[in-house]
Amino acid sequence: MQFDPVKTLPDAWAIKPGRGSQGDGILLAVGKKGNNWVKGSGTELTPDDVYNHVRRIVDGQFSGDSVAEDQALIEPLIRADPAIAGLCDDGLPDIRMICLHGEPLMGMLRLPTNESDGKANLHQGGIGAGVALDTGRITRALQGKTELTHHPDTGTQLIGFEIPGWDRILELSAKCGPAIGLGYCGVDIVVDEFEGPLILEVNAHPGIEIQNINLRGLRGAMALMGENFK
């Protein structure tokens, strides 16, 4: 059956490749205007735009490996908790947690910007904000190599911001590795306006930019847990 965006998609949604990486191929719509959808940046997407994007995903143009074909995942657009949503103009902030043997090692909040087109992706201009595990408060923020104290689009102060639902975020991230048989993993969590913290995905090979964001090495964090590197 041929994909028909008009008949298939709601007003707000996220489309992403099943085998994508670094945010490539993710398309977000935050609402609808007439027959078109609207991105976080305000740019309109026609049904043909959406159809062609899905076709590119299925053809494997965003796949992170050598597989020739891929699958397009279509998800409802999660509405961020108002406290976190207030940090940025549009898009969905998320939390990346690195865990080892059911213990959180390091965390960061990833924030969308106008430059990143509403995506919380560091490689596309998003902000990475290091979070203290004991308090859930932001301690340092970077956009690329530029250190920030405030969000560049909204002017909202980032340093010292306390992420809502932090205890639940720690609890959820700690359970992910043991649940799916991974000793080491990266867990992506969003804080929904109504449901609270929700797990987006679990990564077996998470990126390690989180170390630069937190000015702390994962090896040292593992050593504090008593891990033997001999």
Is residue 229 in a domain? no
Taking alpha carbons only, the member of 109, 112, 108 closest to residue 30 is 112
pLDDT interval class at 228 (50, 70, 90):
low
Whether 179 and 97 map to the same domain: the answer is yes
Whether 131 and 187 map to the same domain: the answer is yes
Coil, strand or helix at 158: coil
Is residue 36 in a domain? yes
Whether 29 and 112 map to the same domain: the answer is no
Is residue 68 in a domain? yes
Which of 49, 76, 103 is the last residue in one of the domains?
76
**Cβ proximity of 55 and 61 under 8 Å:** no
Domain that holds residue 114: 82-224
Taking alpha carbons only, the member of 199, 200, 201, 194 closest to residue 82 is 194
Pairing outcome for strands 27-29 and 31-33: unpaired
**Cβ proximity of 133 and 104 under 8 Å:** yes
Whether 64 and 159 map to the same domain: the answer is no
Is residue 8 over pLDDT 50? Answer: yes
Is residue 66 over pLDDT 70? Answer: no
**Cβ proximity of 199 and 189 under 8 Å:** yes
**Cβ proximity of 128 and 110 under 8 Å:** yes
Is residue 230 in a domain? no
Mean pLDDT across 63-73: 76
Residues 197-214: tens digit of each pLDDT: 999 889 999 989 999 999
Whether 174 and 103 map to the same domain: the answer is yes
**CB-side neighbour CA atoms (13 Å) of 159:** 10
Which of 76, 103, 123 is the last residue in one of the domains?
76
More confident residue, 107 or 120: 107
Whether 72 and 86 map to the same domain: the answer is no
- Predicted structure pTM score: 0.75
Which of 51, 76, 101 is the last residue in one of the domains?
76
Residues 87-96: tens digit of each pLDDT: 998 888 999 9
Whether 50 and 94 map to the same domain: the answer is no
Is residue 124 in a domain? yes
Domain count, the chain: 2
